[in-house]
Structure 1
């Protein structure tokens, strides 16, 4: 499934670039002279967790993560700072889910936690663009983002002993990516792919310091891939 989605995304991007290159006329010739412009994006993501374990009272701790695909949608505001540099805001919603397997626990009802998450995702990005060639313009993205986790359960008094896996509500990420602007007749289409990496530890530890679920965890932070399709 993962390979099919990636291949489909690659096919769509390649087809759009090929179409843009065949255009003899330069579309939207004054688009990049705007100081400020807006748009929106749709996309998909696959979010995993980077997981580091530590020595604890739990012997032979073994935890694994199974990610699934999610979706992302949001708005775009881009401020041109220089002909090749822009500041870009992309507030949006990100939804995904993951299964966490605690393989050292003998009872299946206690060994799996399904984490469904919906985030307010607010990236602040710098966009470094090449000079335009006909109707295409490749670019790099880099910046940081703030995520508000609506599904964190951080304030829940119950923890894993009652079946509740808790995470931090406020999280910070850094992002890097590549993309290409494709100038069409009436709008600019911009597919991009980027990596998203957590800065802070997102797990909220159980009240019991020797919890079988959280005591072995030294760090657990988001590590994801976003495939976005922007319309500007």
Structure 2
């Protein structure tokens, strides 16, 4: 499958990436703490009506499952649960920030996001527990439209809250094939609401911000299919928690 190929090509080692992001954040925050006693960096930066940047994100995502009436039918009497589990992913994006007022910005951050979601179908067959794991790998192009509410700047730091909506569309179009009955199929579009918080840190040449954002999907991601994996599910929505490193 195309998404599986992408994942293998990227050869992501999640533990190493998480550790690197943590060390990078610690380095910047330590430097920010040291600069609290120094002169104010980029004093007029937030007075610009428009500025740009880029972001790197690491997230953990999972599905929320709602069963339908088929789950209790005799056709699925051996299926006793469908359990989602968290999986890691990452994103790369751009930032366009528009100043609306002294403490309020409008922010558009288009990004490419690589997801891996997992569902464990737990069966009881011949007195033994059997797990059928479904891994759904997708690549989405997403367009978060966010409002950023900032606190007063203190030295070279400023706290903020952020929230908005995030439409997304799958970037790797998939065609139906004979293996569709052997896997869970999901929709190629999604819409999420997002809330989060972050810390702006002003350096002499740029602004850095670690940001945590929570995302809850509004659309049913279950595709219109009644195969063995889709039939017992009424609704499938997404939950995502992302740590962003933003550079502006």
Q: Which category describes the TM-score, using the shorter chain as reference length?
A: 0.7 to 0.9
For 1:1-40, list aligned pairs within 5 A: 5=18, 8=22, 11=26, 14-22=29-37, 24-40=38-54
Aligned length: 225
- Classify 1:149/1:110 alpha carbon distance in 2 versus 1 (closer, same or farther; 3 Å): farther
Displacement after TM superposition at 1:156 (Å): 1.9
**2:9 alignment partner in structure 1:** none
The Cα RMSD (Å) is 2.8
**2:213 alignment partner in structure 1:** 194
User: 1:41·1:76 contact (CA, 8 Å) conserved in 2?
Assistant: yes
Q: In the alignment, which of 156, 159, 179 is matched to residue 138 of structure 1?
A: 159
Displacement after TM superposition at 1:13 (Å): 6.4
**1:93 alignment partner in structure 2:** 112
How many Å separate the matches in 1 of 2:129 and 2:143? 37
How many Å separate the matches in 2 of 1:152 and 1:16? 44
Q: Alignment partner of 1:103: what SS? A: strand
**1:84 alignment partner in structure 2:** 103
Tell me whether 11-20 or 171-180 shows the greater mean CA deviation: 11-20
Report whether the alignment pairs 1:55 with 2:69. Answer: yes
**1:118 alignment partner in structure 2:** 139
Structure 1 runs not aligned, ≥5 long:
none
Tell me whether 80-89 or 141-150 shows the greater mean CA deviation: 141-150
Q: TM-score, normalised by structure 2?
A: 0.81
1:145-186: per-residue Cα shift (whole Å, max 9, x none)?
A: 111123574x5255652x232111111000000001100010
How many Å separate the matches in 2 of 1:203 and 1:16? 46
**1:172 alignment partner in structure 2:** 191
Displacement after TM superposition at 1:81 (Å): 0.3
**2:203 alignment partner in structure 1:** 184
Higher percent of residues as helix: 2
Q: Alignment partner of 2:123: what SS? A: coil
How many Å separate the matches in 2 of 1:136 and 1:50? 37
**1:44 alignment partner in structure 2:** 58
Displacement after TM superposition at 1:191 (Å): 1.0
Q: TM-score, normalised by structure 1?
A: 0.86
